[in-house]
Amino acid sequence: MKKSYRIKKEKEFQKIIYKKNSYANRNFVVYIYPAEENSHFRVGLSVGKKVGNAVARNKVKRLMRHALFELKEEIKPNYNIVLIARPKIVELSFVEVKNNIVHVFKLANIIE
């Protein structure tokens, strides 16, 4: 994904999480916050150490980024999103990861 679609700063993560507008399923937690200045969505990914070692965490992040890349046309604009992976995500394939992201985004009403 392009840099303009990413959230990288800790203060931005904390601002979105602090608002406590969250939705979850078994494999993901998503926090959303309406953005004023952007014409497209921005997303920050978080994969904690409980998921596994660095290799496993990076693999999960790659899968998440690829799923978001495929879904970017369907995601509503003007949202800042923090997507947090839960530990069971390591056992899933790409299709299952994508389906879980779609499910949690539908719960959050970010996607139709």
What domain range includes position 39?
10-108
CB atoms within 10 A of CB 23: 17
pLDDT-derived band at 104, boundaries 50, 70, 90: very high
Averaged pLDDT, 93-110: 93
How many domains would you assign to the chain? Answer: 1
Q: For residue 38, what pLDDT is reported?
A: 63
* Residues 34-64: tens digit of each pLDDT: 877 767 888 899 999 999 999 999 999 999 9
Tokens encoding 73:
């046309």
Separation between Cα atoms, residue 45 and residue 30, nearest integer Å: 10
**Using N-to-C axis directions, what is the helix angle for 94-107 and 54-71, rounded to 10°?**
60
N residues, the chain: 112
Whether 50 is in a domain gets the answer: yes
Whether 1 is in a domain gets the answer: no
Strands 79-85 and 28-34: antiparallel
Averaged pLDDT, 64-70: 92
Whether 22 is in a domain gets the answer: yes
Q: For residue 98, what pLDDT is reported?
A: 94
Whether 4 is in a domain gets the answer: no
Lookup result for tokens 């992040």: 61
CATH number at residue 86: 3.30.230.10
Task: Return the beta strands (E) in the chain as ranges.
Answer: 22-24, 28-34, 42-47, 79-85
Q: Between these two residues, 109 and 4, which has the higher pLDDT value?
A: 109
* Residues 6-33: tens digit of each pLDDT: 788 888 888 888 888 889 999 999 999 8
Whether 31 is in a domain gets the answer: yes
Whether 3 is in a domain gets the answer: no
Whether 16 is in a domain gets the answer: yes
Whether 2 is in a domain gets the answer: no
